[in-house]
Structure 1
């Protein structure tokens, strides 16, 4: 396998056709086709199926695309690290960010980073597991910041705890149960939760079952914070938000943290990356900026800032 062949394969996967891949690479369609045929001959396996509507990848092709992206991404990181060592930090940093972090700590952290590495191109993805895990796997994402996926010593990902925070049950201010004091009073309510489907059972057990409650009959899973906010504002649904997000949106969105006697379990926010992948200078700088943002906010003279950060405990 040659590097230009892997680059061609990744371009076809990104663009969906031979002609579009040729345009993106500045080559002729014949050159792209030749590179693919040579790669298939080297591997003794068909990689793409050509049709009137474009190309489709075979099982062999889909497997190789993952490795091709990983190799190409790692080479880009190596080049960026060499440039950083030479004092010419550039390149790209791709990060997955859980939505509530994006609304709270991300803006000042990005400002700090831009001051230190203005030539590094930043790219953000909403950090739901279904979005970030495939990108972490193929190397197109450097790391993600959010709730960690279940991990084991054999996992392809590693999780490093960044900070912990408490959470609150929220509803609109004029909700019929706005003044309730126990979770048990909410057993028959409709819940809308920004949970990953794979974690639903374990998180339901932690939140409801271990407190002697039955799991609510109606739990709507939402893969967008905007959907959660819209439904909370116009229905009798309830949800769970980390406290920093409650501080940011409760006035603007007319939401209310219910005054429950119970303390909800801490939420751990971790840095998730591909196991064994080195941390680039740009990634290390960004994480430093995020930690400094949280630390500075907790010690701010501005009461609004202190309220935002009061529930945060740095773990790294």
Structure 2
């Protein structure tokens, strides 16, 4: 098995056809076909089946693709690590962050990281743990920063807590329920949820149940920041967001906070990474800057 065969496989899977993959890789289509035939012979299985739309992975091909992405990510990470250990400031950083670290931690970390690693390409994603988990496990991401669920003790991921957090209830300016002071007064409201958990109910349901209230009416689940900010700014939907949103300049003048008496705990903000893979020097430094930014945030709180 050769690394070129791995890159050929990934290109075909991503592009959906031999022709598109050959064009992307700047190789001839017959060369790509031979490469895949040799790989299939080496593995003893068929990886692709031809269809009217191009090529489709077989079941064996789907399973091998997961391993191939991990191999490709590890080769990239190994190149970056060796180069950075020798003083090179180039490479690529792959990180997924939820909105809280984007708002409260990233501005500080970005400045410090760019000063130390000016030539590293920062490949950053906006997302939450359910989105990041498969990419962490296959090595696509160096780390994830944001709220994370409790993981089993035998998990292949390491979770490092940065700080505990709380939430606020946000609504549009002039919302008819702006004067509410308890969750009881909001029991008939319609709610939007983020995708921070695998199941939408888990974001609000347990809190309402704790106060003997009926389950909240969930009418919208947003998978992007733009979606839920737009939804609550232009409707009567309510949304619970981490308290950092209250001070975020972009939304502070467009949204209001409904101040209720009940505590609204939020999931702690964490760094999550693979347990069996060391971070590259650049990724390790970025995490250090996130930790330092968290320290500054906690100092301001106290």
| Fold equivalence (TM over 0.5) | yes
> CA-to-partner distance for each residue in 1:180-217, whole Å, 9 max, x for gaps?
11111111101111134624343334311112111113
CA distance in 1, matches of 2:263, 2:39: 58
* CA distance, structure 2, for counterparts of residue 204 and residue 214 of structure 1: 11
Shift of 1:15: 2.3
Are the counterparts in 1 of residues 103 and 244 from structure 2 also a CA contact under 8 Å? no
* Matches of 1:266 and 1:286, distance apart in 2: 24
1:198-243 deviation digits (Å, cap 9, x = unpaired)? 2434333431111211111334211122121112122211111111
Structure 1 unaligned regions, length at least 5:
300-305, 312-316
Distance 2:128 2:253 in 1: 22
Q: Is the counterpart of residue 241 in structure 1 residue 245 in structure 2?
A: no
Unaligned runs of 5+ in 2: none
Task: Give CA deviations for 1:73-118 in whole Å, capped at 9, x if unaligned.
Answer: 1121112111111111321111111134323432332121111001
Deviation per CA, 1:235-280, whole angstroms, max 9, x where unpaired? 2111111111111147644322222111111431111223312121
Q: Distance in 2 between matches of 1:224 and 1:266?
A: 18
Matched residue, 1:160: 160
| Residue in 2 that maps onto 1:314 | none
Within-5 A mapping of 1:272-311: 272-296=272-296, 306=300, 310=301
CA contact (8 A) 2:97 2:124 kept: yes
Counterpart position of 2:79: 79
Q: Secondary structure at the match of 2:136?
A: helix
TM-score (norm 1): 0.88
Higher fraction of strand: 2
RMSD: 2.1
How does the TM-score come out when normalised to structure 2?
0.91
| Structure 1 equivalent of residue 131 of structure 2 | 131
Distance in 1 (alpha carbons) for counterparts of 2:130 and 2:54: 26
